[in-house]
Amino acid sequence: MTEGFRSGFVTLVGRPNVGKSTLLNQLVGSKVAIVSDRPQTTRAAIRGVRTTPGDQIVFVDTPGIHKPRTPLGERTNQRAVATLGEVDVVCLLVEADSPIGAGDRFVAGLVQQVATPKLLVVNKIDRAGKPAIAEHLAIAARDLGDFDAYLPLSARTGDGIAPLLGEIESRLPEGPRYYPEGVVTDQPETFVAAELVREKLLAVARDELPHSITVSVEELEDIPDADVDVDEPDEILRLRADISVERDSQKGIVIGRGGRVLKDAGTAARQELEALLGVRVYLETRVRVERDWQRRAHALDRLGY
């Protein structure tokens, strides 16, 4: 361990759709978490790594804490809450352009139960005027409990990111470099690919089936000769994405007329994955119906939840 080097883990928590994934990507400087305006997009704790000459911060993006309606919701809540006592700093996010409500107060109550240093982040200041931002800060200080600092910022534009990093860095203990320089996430390639495919499908499916889609990806040994022309097969990452929905009608939405929706989503995910990993990618996609998978414990276990 380098003398004077600081490192630690920081969790981002809040109710759904407050901008945790966007903030994670901004803090890391690279896209490591998918982003959607659909609530409860994040289903797993995703780690992003920021390394400087003097410190390394491992950020943990968590699922939005909400009132669960399915066993899937219960499991994602449990994952988010479990991170609170396992990190060095907790960042609670609220929105500047929405009233602080019961959901924010519920999550704040959970945060207040741990002794971990706590920062209150008022996100989306690019969507609110100064009076609204000041009001949010005042309400947060009055109603959400004690925090070590209150920070307004915009995860989308990056405005206010530097003060947040300063507050975090000042609270990091001396520690080792957990990841080599250049690493921005510890998620396996298959997980990243699955999340990118899901993101692209969420963008086109919108309200029809956001919570009914799940994607799992596995690496293939060989590429079918009839499906792709490869000059240098050893330099290609071969992946197959299995997309599960809960109804036959949803399968048609995902595939689209003439297969256009699925093809466009797969192409966009493949291109983004190639840019992220720096390798060529062959991505095969297929859709299947997994009836009521969100409500069946066995299905959740098999799908990795």
- Secondary structure of 119-175 in the HEC alphabet? EEEEECHHHCCHHHHHHHHHHHHHHCCCCCEEEECCCCCCCCHHHHHHHHHCCCCEC
Residue 237, pLDDT above cutoff 70: yes
- Mean pLDDT value across residues 118-132: 93
pLDDT at 300: 63
Mean per-residue pLDDT of the chain: 81
Question: Which candidate, 196, 154, 170, places its Cα nearest to that of 54?
Answer: 170
Which of 124-133, 136-145, 237-246, 296-305 has the weakest average pLDDT?
A: 296-305
Share of the chain above pLDDT 90, in %: 29
CATH code for the domain defined by 6-169: 3.40.50.300
Residue with more model confidence, 37 or 56: 56
Which of 28-37, 67-76, 157-166, 176-185 reaches the highest mean pLDDT?
A: 157-166
Q: What is the pLDDT of residue 40?
A: 43
Domain positions in the chain are 6-169, 189-302
Q: Are strands 89-95 and 118-123 parallel, antiparallel or unpaired?
A: parallel
Identify the pLDDT of residue 195. 81
Q: What is the pLDDT of residue 194?
A: 85
Q: Is the pLDDT of residue 39 over 50?
A: no
Q: How far is CA 264 from CA 166, 190, 246, 257, 271, in A?
A: 41, 19, 21, 12, 11
Sign of torsion, CA 5 45 42 122? negative
- Over pLDDT 70: what percentage of the chain? 78
| φ, ψ (nearest 5 deg) of residue 41 | -70, -45
Residue bearing the bigger pLDDT, 234 or 22: 22
Residue type, 118: K
Statement: residue 214 has pLDDT above 80? yes
Report the top-level CATH class of 189-302. Answer: alpha beta
Q: Which of 64-73, 126-135, 223-232, 269-278 has the highest mean pLDDT?
A: 126-135
Residue 198: its pLDDT value, please?
A: 81
Please determine, for residue 43, whether its predicted confidence score (pLDDT) is greater than 50: no
What is the value of pTM for the model shown? Answer: 0.71
87-122 pLDDT, tens per residue?
Answer: 899 999 999 998 898 889 988 888 898 899 999 999
